[in-house]
Amino acid sequence: MEKVKIYDTTLRDGMQAEGISFSVEDKLLLARRLDEFGIDYIEGGFPLSNPKEEEFFRRLSEIPFQHARIAAFGSTRRANNPVEQDAGIAALLACDVPVITIVGKTWDMHVTDVLRCGLEDNIMLCADSVAYLKKQGREVIFDAEHFFDGYKNNPDYAMKVLAAAAEAGADTLALCETNGGALPDEVYEITRTVCQTFSGATIGIHCHNDSDCAVANSLAGVRAGARHVQGTLNGLGERTGNANLCTIIPNLSLKMGYETVGDENLRSLTEVSRFAFEIANLTPVTHMPYVGESAFAHKGGLHIDAIRKNQKTYEHISPELVGNERRFLISELSGASNVLDKLEKKKIISDRNVARAILQKVQELEKEGYQFEIAEASFDLLIKKLLGTYKPSFELIKYHVDIERAESGRMITEATVKLSVDGRVEHVVSEGDGPVNALDGALRKAMEAFYPNIKSMSLIDYKVRVVNARAGTAARVRVVIESRDSQDMWGTVGASENIIEASWLALVDSVEYKLLKDAGALNE
């Protein structure tokens, strides 16, 4: 298999995404994980931009890199500075990393309107910078900024800049589709021309996603001869983002037959993607190809029936190849095969008639506003109820929620819960930040003496959606609650015209699921 080298710029280009700010610790954690994943180059950042970047490069020795080569990123020397006296060049060398990525202008408009120097002067400063860095013993990647726009506007000049960098000793000529507006056929033709002209050089491709073609453009560049691909995890980046390595890598490895990170590392791709989302404090994009939670999720009954017979019918690869998993969603669109698959996985029953009865109940409840594809814990409880194997842990006598505004302006929410556990009545009161928090506190207080393991669970997310908005204040609402303990995470759902009642139903399901799970009784 021919090798395509993967260059990750999440720590620099990815951090330019709106709302993203990695700490030094974040960057070190990501760098370690990228190295473990088998990335060839990790771009650490621009050391002259801020003290955080300087500290990151100082602390790189804390990571025992096994595979990746670390790159510092910067610009060519300034037009009026000798290269030996340029502060930016000096800062790059001070990083003491093996690779330096130097960005140079290849679009004549940028030279005249942004740098405001002569076209030949720009060629000289690109060549000087590359040659000087090579003399210091560094591997040099020349990022040809705005190359595709520059080539379309003035191909002779764009190629002259590349030639100057190549003659000065650049190890890789990376063609940057900086504005993200090119289409795959343009990228292919221009990259092919470059590869034919510089047949002895390593050609790279660096694409942005402004026309939603960054991945396609990157693959087109490889087809044209590029063997070095730059991008970011999850496509993070300025404006609409960079080329998404979580899609590029499996496409290159599984579809195009190139070696990238290796088959074993590829199986951790989904984990790496979610790790990056966590570090960035972002919610994972569920519909992302290959690594998204929905990438191999099936909802239509006909699809599920077919895929149970032959997985290739509705999946382009086996999800295990990228560390993901197949999911069959429960909804009103499900067929009996979908429900039957759930039952068989839980080793409960394999009776198609029972599956149809459960499906009918699911369809009735979803018509009322329930949605089980995001609340599988509630679905598990529903199965037990319909099979007659469900025994509630308590009997509700009543609950009450009171909300008051104090003279100080502080809102006071108080919930009262009265219930019976094995014939013993508990009547408790709890305050909370809101009605759901107060109900949660009261329910826990009433049950902890009987079920102390409830202390180990926590409510981590709460979502409300109006199901039939046209009904105005009489509309039904759906409440989804996400809970977790030290081992698992689960979702539950409730629906009602009353938001408190919908919340209570979801809350009770969450507690009941926890108790059954801990008792090992979910599949009984």
CB 500 within 8 A of CB 435: yes
Low-confidence ranges of the chain (pLDDT < 50): none
**The amino acid at 9:** T
CB 299 within 8 A of CB 323: no
Please check whether residue 289 lies inside any domain of the structure. no
Q: Are strands 41-45 and 99-105 parallel, antiparallel or unpaired?
A: unpaired
pLDDT value, residue 347: 61
Angle between the N-to-C axes of helices 499-518 and 435-447, in degrees from 0 to 180, rounded to the nearest 10: 40
pLDDT value, residue 281: 78
Please check whether residue 331 lies inside any domain of the structure. yes
Radius of gyration of the chain from Cα atoms? 29
pLDDT value, residue 169: 96
Q: Give CA separation, 336 vs 308, 329, 342, 362, 363, in Å.
A: 12, 12, 10, 11, 11
Same domain assignment for residues 168 and 230: yes
By CB atoms closer than 10 A (0-12, 13-18, 19+), residue 84 is exposed
Same domain assignment for residues 275 and 315: no
- The tokens describing 452, both together, are 């102390």
- The tokens describing 298, both together, are 């099936």
Same domain assignment for residues 433 and 342: no
Please check whether residue 368 lies inside any domain of the structure. no
**What distance in Å separates the CA atoms of residue 519 and residue 524, rounded to the nearest whole number?**
10
**What distance in Å separates the CA atoms of residue 324 and residue 273, rounded to the nearest whole number?**
11
Please check whether residue 366 lies inside any domain of the structure. no
**What distance in Å separates the CA atoms of residue 280 and residue 301, rounded to the nearest whole number?**
36
Same domain assignment for residues 309 and 250: no
Please check whether residue 369 lies inside any domain of the structure. no
Please check whether residue 378 lies inside any domain of the structure. no
Please check whether residue 172 lies inside any domain of the structure. yes
pLDDT value, residue 346: 60
Same domain assignment for residues 215 and 322: no
Q: Structural domain of residue 15, as residue ranges?
A: 5-279
pLDDT value, residue 439: 92
State whether residue 219 is helix, strand or coil.
helix
Same domain assignment for residues 222 and 190: yes
Residue 472 belongs to domain with CATH number = 3.30.160.270
Count of domains observed in the chain: 3
Q: What is the pTM of this model?
A: 0.70
pLDDT value, residue 98: 95
Please check whether residue 524 lies inside any domain of the structure. no
pLDDT value, residue 231: 97
Same domain assignment for residues 129 and 219: yes
Same domain assignment for residues 87 and 225: yes
Same domain assignment for residues 223 and 320: no
Same domain assignment for residues 41 and 166: yes
Annotate 284-328 with three-state secondary structure.
CCCCCCCCCCCCCEECCHHHHHHHHHCHHHCCCCCHHHHCCCCEE
Same domain assignment for residues 202 and 241: yes
Q: Give CA separation, 323 vs 36, 43, 158, 180, 264, in Å.
A: 15, 25, 42, 30, 10
